[in-house]
Amino acid sequence: MILSNRGRMATGAVFAASLALSLSACMSSSGSSASSSSSPSAPSSPSSPSPAAPAAGGSASGATGVHTVSDATLGTIVVNGKGFTLYRFDMDTNKPPASHCTGQCTALWPAAPASDAAMVQGVNQKLLGSITGTDGQKQLTLNGWPLYTYAQDSKAGDTNGQGVGGIWWAVTPAGAKASSSSAGSSSTTSSTTGSGSSGGSYGY
């Protein structure tokens, strides 16, 4: 069948329109797919770590070691990191440093651990040292004198061990015996009392 010029033109126009529509649909689909694949996903924001809870019993200011306090009766004395009074024992020696607190004595007069010297305030670090105590543990010394706490001191600041048996004394920053007017008189008599190896004369 022979088409007239008008028929051929109409057929061509229809074909061109159909082709253009098909191309448009393909381009639209391709563009949508490209847009979808090229858009980066929003990065997930990292979660901030929760601050660590402080350890039980911890202190923001850190631990405290041996330091000095002012006592109304005894003046400046040395205490441990918990504020308990430190004492020296007349039966000990400081040259050479040696402890003679044994047996029942160690229960009533626990040795001050050498680790208390890790942080020091108010005491010359050069005066601090250590020995192997009678319990086999490292014991703190001050100017050569082994140091102890007193089991009957129930709270920081107590000085119940002062003058016990005439041979137990709170200690000054120089390692000397702390004294008041009454403690001084006790010290005078202490050298003539208590020659036994146990009992009240030794303060336990």
- In this predicted model, what pLDDT tens digit does every residue of 136-185 receive, in sequence order? 999 999 999 999 999 999 999 999 999 999 999 999 999 999 998 434 44
Structural domain contains residue 57: no
Residue 195 lies in a domain: no
Tell me what pLDDT residue 113 has: 95
Q: What is the pLDDT of residue 180?
A: 81
**Model-wide pTM > 0.75:** no
For residue 182, give every residue at least 6 positions away whose Cβ sits within 8 Å of its Cβ, in sequence order, or none: 163
* Res 46 pLDDT > 60: no
Mean pLDDT of 23-41: 49
> Contact, 108 vs 101, CB < 8 A?
no
Q: Are strands 145-146 and 138-142 parallel, antiparallel or unpaired?
A: antiparallel
Q: How many structural domains compose the chain?
A: 1
- Span 5-11, average pLDDT: 54
- Domain of 177 in residue numbering reads as 67-190
141 found inside a domain: yes
Q: Are 183 and 162 in contact (CB under 8 A)?
A: yes
- Dist. CA 78–CA 38, nearest whole Å: 74
Q: Which of 171, 73, 70 is nearest to 128 (CA)?
A: 171
Task: For residue 150, tell me if it sits in a domain.
Answer: yes
> In Å, what is the CA distance from 185 to each residue of 32, 39, 73, 152, 181?
103, 93, 14, 23, 7
Question: E strands, the chain, where?
Answer: 67-71, 75-79, 87-89, 93-94, 97-98, 128-132, 138-142, 145-146, 168-170
In percent, the amount of the chain with pLDDT more than 90 equals 53
Question: Which residue in 130, 141, 137 sits closest to 171, CA to CA?
Answer: 141
Mean pLDDT of the chain: 74
Task: Answer yes or no: is 197 within a domain.
Answer: no
60 assigned to some structural domain = no
- Domain-located, residue 21: no
User: Region 27-56: what's the mean pLDDT?
Assistant: 45
DSSP 1-52: -PPPHHHHHHHHHHHHHHHHHHHHHHHHHHHHHHHHHHSPPPPPPPPPPPPP
- pLDDT category of residue 198 using cuts at 50, 70 and 90: very low
**In this structure, is residue 38 part of a structural domain?**
no
105 CB burial (10 A radius; 0-12, 13-18, 19+): buried
